[in-house]
Structure 1
Amino acid sequence: MAGEVLSQNEIDALLSAISTGEMDADELKKEDTAKKVKTYDFKRALRFSKDQIRSLTRIHENFSRLLTTYFSAQLRTYINISVGSVDQVPYEEFIRSIPSLTILNLFEVRPLEGKIMMEVNPTIAYTMMDRVMGGTGMGGSKKDSLTEIETKIISNLCENSLVNYREAWEQVAEINPEMTGFEVNPQFVQMVSPNETVVVISLNAQIGNISGVINLCIPHVVLEPIIPKLSMHYWMQSERIEPKPEETHSLKKQIMDAHVPVVAQLGTSELTIEEFLNLEIGDCITLDQSVTEPLTVKVGERPKFFGQAGRVNRKVAIQILDHDIRGEKIGT
C-alpha cells in the first residue's frame, strides 16, 4: 500500500514544526514503528493475481507493437505506442477518471461473453483524424461534437485495428473482435455494474509532438473463462500441436520411400588375429550356425526377422518366416 505523498507546503510546515519544538521527531519515529491496521476496501477486491497481470501486460505489449505498425501505415507518419500501466479498479472509478468528452469504442470478443471498451484520448483521436484528412496532425482538440464524417473516420480507424487485437491474443485464446458501439460520453456507457472489477491497460501514444493515452477496459467477466490460461505455467509449458492431415500424409510418403539396407546373416565366427593373418585361398571358416537353422534378417543394424535361403527365378532370395525375438516387432 503506497504511502501518502506530501506537498511541498506540507513538507515545509512539518520541518518548521520540528525545528520550533511543536513536534517531537522521536514521537514520529515511534508512530512509524507502531503496528498499523490497513483498511481493506471490499469494493476494490483484487480479482487478478500478479502473475495474470503480467500475462495481460505481455499480451498488450505485443498489441502495442502491432498498433504502432498499423497506425504508422494508416497515418503515413511514425507513431510510438507502448504499455504505460496495467491496473485493476472498479468500473465506476475508471469511468470517473476519463474525460467527459472522449472517444469510446465498444467491441465484443466472441466466443467470450461481454464487451471491451477502447477509450482514445481526444487529443490523439483528433490528431489521427487530421492526418487521415490530409492535415499535418496538429489539429488540436475539438470542443464541439463530432460530425458524421468525423465519427465514421475515427470509428473505422479503431475498428480496423481490431485485427491486431485478435493477433495479439492468438497464443492464449482464439477471439473474433467485432465493433458494436461508438460513444463520446462515458456516462452513456454501462458495460458492467459500478463495483465490477475491470482491468485497465493504458497505452501511451506519441504522434510527433502530440501525446495521449489509449485505454483498454476489460471487465473481469470477459476474462473469467480463460483466466487459467493467463498463468505463467500456461505460457511456459510446451503445447503439443497436432500436425495437419496433409503434413502427416507428406511425412508418411517420405518415410515409405526411404531406402534401408536388408541383410540376411548366414552366421558368425570368431578368429584370432593369428588365424586371420594365416588365412589362404581354399580355407574354410566354420560358422556358429547349422544349415538347418533359420537365418537372421537384419534391417539396418537391427535383427528383425527369421528367414530361410532359397531361389526365385534363378535369383538368391530369403523367405521371411517369423519376427526375430531379439528385435522389435514391426507392422503392429
Structure 2
Amino acid sequence: MADVLSQNEIDALLSAISTGEMDAEELKKEEAEKKVKVYDFKRALRFSKDQVRSLSRIHENYARLLTTYFSAQLRTYVQISVASVDQVPYEEFIRSVPKMTILNLFEAPPLDGRLLIEVNPNIAYAMLDRVLGGQGKGMNKVDSLTEIETRIMNQLFDRALDCFGEAWGTIIDVEPEMLDFEVNPQFLQMVSPNETVVVISLTTTIGETSGMINICLPHVVLEPIIPKLSVHHWMQNKQRERLPEEVEKLESRVKTAMLPLTAELGRCQISVQEFLSLSNNDVLELDQKISEPLTINVQGKNKFIGQPGKVKNQMAIQIIDAYEKGDFNDE
C-alpha cells in the first residue's frame, strides 16, 4: 500500500518545486526509468508458488502418515509437521547437511531418478534407542553405528517409504524402493551441484527429543509430473470415458448380481411378553385380507405388488404392478 502524504508534507513538496529546489521533470524521468530486479542464476526458481504449495500439501499428508507410523513402531509420542518448503541448488543443500547424519537414498518408479531423506542424528538415534528398548534419548553417535544398528535403522525407514507412496497417490502412483544408506553426505552425488532441488523440512518430536527430517526432491526427477502439481489439476475431476467393452462387461456383471426378494403377507403388533411366549402352532392375526395384493420388497425397498399362488405345487407370487408411493402398507 502506498504511503499517504500529510498536508504539511504536500505543502513542503509544492514549496520545493516552486522555489526550484526540486525539479518536476527529473521526478518524472526517475519514475519512467525501468527498475531492474536482481536474478541469481545459481538459485534459479524452477517451481512456481502454486507448485510449491501443492508439494507442501502432499508432504503435510506425508507428515501425518509418518506420525502414525512412527508412533506405532516406537510406541511413544511422535509429532511430525511441515516446517518449510524451499527450492535451492543441490550443492547448497548438501553443504547444509551435517557431516555425519542419516541419508536414505531411494527411487520412486515410474519417476526416473533418485530422491533423498535426510534424518537429523539426534532424531535417528532417539528412534534407534526406542526400538532397542530405551527411553528414546537423542545422541549423536552416527559415525559409530554398528552393523546391527545400521540394519535396524535401514529397515525402519524402508517401511516408512510406504507412507511416501501413499501421500503421492493423489498425483501419481509410485513404488518407492530403498537404494542405499549413507552417513556421510560427501560421498553422495545425486544430481549436478547447480541442479535445483525442493527441500521439504519436517519438524520431528520424539518424546523430549526434537530435530529435522529433510526430504530432497530434484527438479529433474519431478519434471515429468510438474503440470500435475497445479491447482487446476487438483480441482478438476476428470472422468475417463469407459470403453464399450468395459461398459458391456459391467452390465453383464450387474445383471447377474443376486438380490434378496421378499413378499410381505401382512403385519401385526404384539407385546414383548407375547413374543417371548410364542411357540409352535401359535396363530398370529395379520392386518391384511387374503384377497388383497401383497407388497414385494427388493433389498428392503417396496418395488412391486403381487398376488400369491402356486406353480408346480410350489408357493409362488405373481407380479401384477409396480409399487407406487402411497399404496397400502406404505411407511
Normalising to structure 2: TM-score of the pair?
Answer: 0.64
What SS class does the counterpart of residue 199 from structure 1 fall into?
Answer: strand
Instruction: Tell me which residue corresponds to 1:251.
Output: 254
Instruction: Tell me which residue corresponds to 1:195.
Output: 194
Letter matched to residue 195 of structure 2: E
- 1:210–1:240 CA distance, 2 compared to 1 (3 A): same
1:155-191 CA distances to partner (integer Å, 9 max, x unpaired)? 1111000111111111110111000011000010000
Instruction: Tell me which residue corresponds to 1:240.
Output: 239
| Cα separation, 1, equivalents of 2:164 and 2:134 | 27
Seq. identity, %: 65
| Cα separation, 2, equivalents of 1:96 and 1:173 | 31
| Cα separation, 2, equivalents of 1:143 and 1:128 | 12
Letter matched to residue 251 of structure 1: V
Letter matched to residue 185 of structure 2: P
Give 5+ residue unaligned stretches, structure 1: 1-32, 259-332
Give 5+ residue unaligned stretches, structure 2: 1-30, 262-331
**Comparing 245-254 with 113-122, which one deviates more in the overlay?**
245-254
| Cα separation, 1, equivalents of 2:102 and 2:137 | 18
By how many angstroms is 1:205 displaced? 0.4
Question: Aligned ranges for residues 263-278 of structure 1 at < 5 Å?
Answer: none
Q: Does 1:94 align with 2:93?
A: yes
Instruction: Tell me which residue corresponds to 2:123.
Output: 124
Q: Is the 8 A contact 2:99 2:185 kept in 1?
A: yes
What SS class does the counterpart of residue 56 from structure 2 fall into?
Answer: helix
Question: Aligned ranges for residues 207-222 of structure 1 at < 5 Å?
Answer: 207-222=206-221
Q: Is the 8 A contact 2:105 2:180 kept in 1?
A: yes
Q: How well do the aligned residues superpose, as a CA RMSD in angstroms? A: 2.7
1:46-90 CA distances to partner (integer Å, 9 max, x unpaired)? 000011101111110110000000000000012000011000000
Q: Is the 8 A contact 2:138 2:209 kept in 1?
A: no
Moved over 4 A (4+): 33-37, 241-248, 252-258
Q: Does 1:80 align with 2:79?
A: yes
- 1:145–1:255 CA distance, 2 compared to 1 (3 A): closer
Q: Does 1:56 align with 2:59?
A: no
- 1:143–1:200 CA distance, 2 compared to 1 (3 A): closer
Aligned residues: 227
| Cα separation, 2, equivalents of 1:133 and 1:242 | 53
| Cα separation, 2, equivalents of 1:179 and 1:122 | 19
Please identify the structure whose Cα radius of gyration is greater: 1
| Cα separation, 2, equivalents of 1:199 and 1:120 | 16
By how many angstroms is 1:145 displaced? 2.1
| Cα separation, 2, equivalents of 1:205 and 1:143 | 18
Instruction: Tell me which residue corresponds to 1:183.
Output: 182
Letter matched to residue 213 of structure 1: M
| Cα separation, 1, equivalents of 2:121 and 2:251 | 53
Letter matched to residue 254 of structure 2: L
Letter matched to residue 160 of structure 2: S
- 1:234–1:139 CA distance, 2 compared to 1 (3 A): closer
- 1:51–1:249 CA distance, 2 compared to 1 (3 A): farther
What SS class does the counterpart of residue 94 from structure 1 fall into?
Answer: helix
1:250-305 CA distances to partner (integer Å, 9 max, x unpaired)? 434569999xxxxxxxxxxxxxxxxxxxxxxxxxxxxxxxxxxxxxxxxxxxxxxx
| Cα separation, 2, equivalents of 1:79 and 1:242 | 44
What SS class does the counterpart of residue 108 from structure 2 fall into?
Answer: strand
- 1:252–1:223 CA distance, 2 compared to 1 (3 A): farther
1:214-248 CA distances to partner (integer Å, 9 max, x unpaired)? 00000011101111111000000012167787755
Question: Aligned ranges for residues 283-322 of structure 1 at < 5 Å?
Answer: none
| Cα separation, 2, equivalents of 1:256 and 1:208 | 54
